[in-house]
Amino acid sequence: MCGIIGYYGNEDAIPILINGLKRLEYRGYDSAGIAVINGGGLNVLKQAGKVKELESSVEESTLKGSVGIAHTRWATHGEPNDLNAHPHMDETGTIVLIHNGIIENYSNLREALQKEGVTFKSDTDTEVLVQLIASFYRRDKLSFEQAVRAALQEVVGTFGIVALCKEEPDVMVAARHGSPLVLGLSDGAYFLASDASPIIEHTRNVIYLDEGEMVILNSDGYTIKQIYKNKVLSKAVTTLNMSLEEIEKGNFPHFMLKEIFDQKQTIMDTMRGRLILDEGSAHLGGLMDCLDRIENASRFYITACGTSWHAGLVGKYLIEECAHIPVHVEYASEFRYRKVIIDSDTVVIAISQSGETADTLAAIRKAKEMGALTVGICNVVGSSIARETDCGVYTRAGSEIGVASTKAFTAQLTVLSMFALKLGRRKNLSKREGINIAKSLVGIEKTIESTLDDTSNLEYIAGETVKANNFLYLGRGLNFPVALEGALKLKEISYIHAEGYPAAEMKHGPIALIDEKMPVVFIAPHDLTFGKVISNIQEVKSRRGKIIVVTDKKSKRLDKLTDYQIVVPTTHTRIFPIVASIPLQLLAYYLAVLRGCEVDQPRNLAKSVTVE
């Protein structure tokens, strides 16, 4: 979703801002723009399309300055065109603003400003905000900082903003309410960004703004205040622990492929120091203070969106099987507006790679208000969900840049397996079974390596099925969510329509779609339901569907029934979802590449969805 970078220093701001925009591309966007202040002049260049195109326009321009702001926009209000791109300026050309989030009361504010005689150029809610700030600045003769604060008091909605004022060229003002902002502190220079990725190559020292906070940068340095009370705050500087390497592709053609291959390492990182092998249990330090309430919970809710929701479904199977506590898995967007049954014995687990997903954040705020204990399973350290939950576990997958989540998903599954182990061992899970699961987790590195060492079979299957317009993914039990995730990966990056179903549900509807053009992917390890899945495979075979199976050993039955087999090493049934997900990620990847799709930045998608 939209990305923000601001630079305040003494160097040429243009390359810093353009480079910053490139680092933000992964979030998903449709237009980009830049504004710099120079000798009392405020210059803006913005256009629909890619950062590369903006860069060319900037090179042909006379844009210059050492203080500036830049933005990648993901359209909400108004189509993605040059006029709606950020930065937005007020009609007098005094104030310029970039904004993430949504101003919900923009239409009332716009009408009121129009009555004052203000004219608008764009369809955006952001232009309303900048005109409002300018109106306070001119009409009420407020300082730039005061005008920003006054305008923000009128606003309903969410924002992460950075603004400049032509008449106060040494001041930059930024504020956060609902959309994250990070302040980077370097020698004589400051950076403001929607996440740390454009900052990391300049400095590791950052301050995360909390809700309702603003930063004022001027020649004396920085001041952080509460927006609404105007109270000065003193905040701790945090050291970023991500590396530049993490946010670069290295020798891989795409971030997604790099991140799929990263999984050999990341899954081990997720487990490091946490598995207790001889006890068949796990130690999750971030939960220690809340362990009593977790162990005595009468029910769990898992709330999340997209891929993280699929991880939650696997979590439900694992927790219910290992610990015999009921688990409800809810889309966060539903949870937040629905009458959920919550009391102080309820534990609500929020799963989120980014830790910033608006619906998931709102869901945990609601759960907290209703008295539940909230647990976060997040990848991004210091993210809003990580900070707002009562306790939690980091997934430690490292920065995930590809919009399609891969390594974060398997890290979430790994955390959920350890969570189920820990809880299970305090409840119903035998030590022996706990040790079996823990051993399989430890052995997973080799299992994954064997999938990644030779991808030729997957590339071949992709080549054979690339012309299909629809795919079906089917699995039972723990592998039903794996089917859902396989289908989601495929549609996200290749734009091939795909659906996931519990294998037995196929005959209740989707079977109508099956003909010789329809590839059907079965996730079919040799577990208790294998025989049942074989019957479902037979049903597809009779209707001439193309059968692809992900399984854990070759067998004559499968040889006879299937068109393509993807064989991964045998592992514990409860760990199989982690192992089976990786070839499905690769299959989606190769299909998308063959279809010439933009794998890392699929159309219309955003990496972190900060609007509801």
Active-site amino acid positions: 2, 607
Which residue, 492 or 499, has its beta carbon nearer to ligand AGP?
Answer: 492
Which residue, 34 or 523, has its beta carbon nearer to ligand AGP?
Answer: 523
DSSP 317-359: HHHHHHH---EEEEEHHHHTTS-----TTEEEEEEESSS--HH
Which residue, 89 or 364, has its beta carbon nearer to ligand AGP?
Answer: 364
Least distance between ligand AGP and beta carbon 462 (Å): 18
* CB neighbour list of residue 117: distance below 8 Å, 6 or more residues apart: none
Cα 211 from Cα 174, distance rounded (Å): 12
Angle at 397 between CA 394 and CA 401, to 5 degrees: 120
- Backbone phi, then psi, for 410, in 5-degree steps? -70, -30
The residue type found at 192 is L
DSSP 522-534: EE--SSTTHHHHH
Cα 93 from Cα 83, distance rounded (Å): 15
Tokens 């898992």, residue? 302
Question: Which of the 8 DSSP states describes residue 535?
Answer: H
Which residue, 131 or 354, has its beta carbon nearer to ligand AGP?
Answer: 354
Which residue, 130 or 490, has its beta carbon nearer to ligand AGP?
Answer: 490
Cβ proximity of 42 and 166 under 8 Å: yes
Angle at 66 between CA 60 and CA 71, to 5 degrees: 65
| First and final C-alpha spacing in the chain | 12
Cβ proximity of 417 and 574 under 8 Å: yes
How far is CA 283 from each of CA 271, 318, 438, 439, 500, rounded to the nearest angstrom?
10, 17, 12, 15, 34
Q: Which two tokens stand for residue 547?
A: 């059968």
Least distance between ligand AGP and beta carbon 313 (Å): 13
Least distance between ligand AGP and beta carbon 477 (Å): 22
Least distance between ligand AGP and beta carbon 247 (Å): 16
Least distance between ligand AGP and beta carbon 494 (Å): 13
Report the C-alpha dihedral over residues 460, 465, 471, 473, rounded to 10 degrees: -20
Least distance between ligand AGP and beta carbon 336 (Å): 13
Cβ proximity of 91 and 164 under 8 Å: no
Which residue, 61 or 604, has its beta carbon nearer to ligand AGP?
Answer: 604
Q: Which two tokens stand for residue 179?
A: 């959309």
**What is the DSSP pairing of strand 299-304 with strand 327-331?**
parallel
Taking CB atoms, the residue at the shortest distance from ligand AGP is 306
Least distance between ligand AGP and beta carbon 360 (Å): 5
Which residue, 214 or 591, has its beta carbon nearer to ligand AGP?
Answer: 591
Least distance between ligand AGP and beta carbon 285 (Å): 22
Which residue, 268 or 605, has its beta carbon nearer to ligand AGP?
Answer: 605
Least distance between ligand AGP and beta carbon 463 (Å): 24
How far is CA 470 from each of CA 205, 475, 523, 551, rounded to the nearest angstrom?
48, 17, 17, 22
Angle at 286 between CA 284 and CA 290, to 5 degrees: 100
Which residue, 409 or 501, has its beta carbon nearer to ligand AGP?
Answer: 409
Which residue, 308 or 565, has its beta carbon nearer to ligand AGP?
Answer: 308
Least distance between ligand AGP and beta carbon 382 (Å): 14
How far is CA 391 from each of CA 285, 373, 447, 455, 578, rounded to the nearest angstrom?
9, 8, 32, 39, 24
* CB neighbour list of residue 165: distance below 8 Å, 6 or more residues apart: 94, 95, 96, 137, 144, 171, 173
Cα 448 from Cα 470, distance rounded (Å): 28
Least distance between ligand AGP and beta carbon 478 (Å): 19
How far is CA 164 from each of CA 49, 145, 260, 324, 552, rounded to the nearest angstrom?
24, 10, 41, 56, 59
Which residue, 360 or 417, has its beta carbon nearer to ligand AGP?
Answer: 360
Measuring CA to CA, which residue among 96, 48, 55 is closest to residue 74?
A: 48
Least distance between ligand AGP and beta carbon 78 (Å): 23
Report the C-alpha dihedral over residues 289, 293, 299, 305, rounded to 10 degrees: -20
Show the beta-strand stretches assigned E in 261-333. Answer: 275-276, 281-282, 299-304, 327-331
State whether residue 113 is helix, strand or coil. Answer: helix
Q: Which residues bind ligand AGP (CB under 6 A)?
A: 305-308, 352-354, 357, 360, 403-405, 492, 605, 608-609
Residue 255: CB atoms within 10 Å:
24
Which residue, 127 or 492, has its beta carbon nearer to ligand AGP?
Answer: 492
